Amino acid sequence: HRLEQAFEQQRSFVSHASHELRTPLAALKSEIQLGLRHPLPPEASRQVLETLHSDTDRLISLTNSLLFLARALENMGQMPLREVRMEEAIALAQEELLSACPGYRVEIAYEHLPESDTQTLVAGNEDLLKRVLLNLFDNACKYSPDRTARVAIGGDDAVCRVSVRDAGIGISPDDLARIFEPFYRATNATGFAGFGVGLSICQRIMELHRGRLLVESTLGQGSCFTIELPHL
Ligand code: ADP
């Protein structure tokens, strides 16, 4: 049964991926045909080129995510874990997001003052953890009208916990059960840019770290995604 389920997941992943790649490719093709068929005035050709440019960007970004997901799957279990200070990974993710999206806000606070400086040390790969945080911050800002992610750092003797809260569109209980599936997007998310692969990548990365990714959300009110990582 497990094999069959894994096979089914793989099949649906490939068919989703092909669909996601085919749609922008078909759009590219028809734009190019249009440009070839009629000699266009300079303003119109500029517009065609701009559309081609943004469609190509979309394709590059999707291909990169898919490659990343495939590699993360492949290398499961052989990744060396090193000492990572979560505040540093958070600061790197914040910096990267804000330089790409200057209108976003990421507010960072401690849940309580750490008792010792080892409370925010975890065993991990800083690049991958930064990627998880970046994705959670990005979603929090993208799906909320105030464009703000509220990050709280906390934890206990066993784990370091980082939660990312937003006051955005929220997720319905039915969708909550499915948002970690590759390519799944909730119906209230269709007006926002995205492919639905970010959270499945985050979950894979958390598995590699023997950590957890949890979510609580209320439709129309907001969401809170929490990562938990064992200490070094
Ligand atoms: P994307 O945002 O590109 O669609 P993700 O894999 O990051 O892909 O998220 C999957 C889906 O989970 C989103 O399409 C959206 O429906 C839902 N989602 C994720 N984060 C949030 C959030 N902070 N608020 C509301 N919905 C969210």
Cβ of 204: how many Cβ atoms within 10 Å? Answer: 20
Nearest CA to ligand 1 atom 8: 196
Nearest CA to ligand 1 atom 4: 196
Give the CB-side neighbour count of residue 183, counting CA atoms within 13 A.
Answer: 15
Please give the pLDDT value at position 145. Answer: 97
Please give the pLDDT value at position 77. Answer: 60
Nearest CA to ligand 1 atom 7: 198
Contact between residue 141 and residue 97 where contact means Cβ atoms under 8 Å apart: yes
Each of the 232 residues of the chain gets a pLDDT tens digit; together they read 878 877 777 777 788 888 888 888 888 898 888 888 877 888 888 888 888 898 888 889 888 888 877 776 666 566 678 899 999 999 999 999 999 999 999 999 998 877 777 889 999 989 889 999 999 999 999 999 999 999 999 988 899 999 999 999 999 999 999 999 988 999 999 999 998 989 998 998 898 888 999 999 999 999 999 999 998 7
Please give the Cα distance from 52 to 47 (Å, whole number).
9
Indicate the pTM of the whole model.
0.86
Q: What is the best residue among 199, 205, 206 to mutate for testing ligand 1's pocket, by most ligand atoms within 8 Å of CB?
A: 199
Please give the Cα distance from 178 to 159 (Å, whole number).
26
Q: What is the best residue among 164, 185, 223 to mutate for testing ligand 1's pocket, by most ligand atoms within 8 Å of CB?
A: 185
Nearest CA to ligand 1 atom 25: 170
Please give the pLDDT value at position 144. Answer: 98
2-37 and 42-74 helices, crossing angle to 10°? 160
Is the shortest distance between the CB of 134 and ligand 1 below 6 Å? no
> How many angstroms is it from 167 CA to the middle of ligand 1?
14
DSSP string computed for 110-152: ESS--SSTTTTEEEE-HHHHHHHHHHHHHHHHHTSTT-EEEEE
Cβ of 49: how many Cβ atoms within 10 Å? Answer: 12
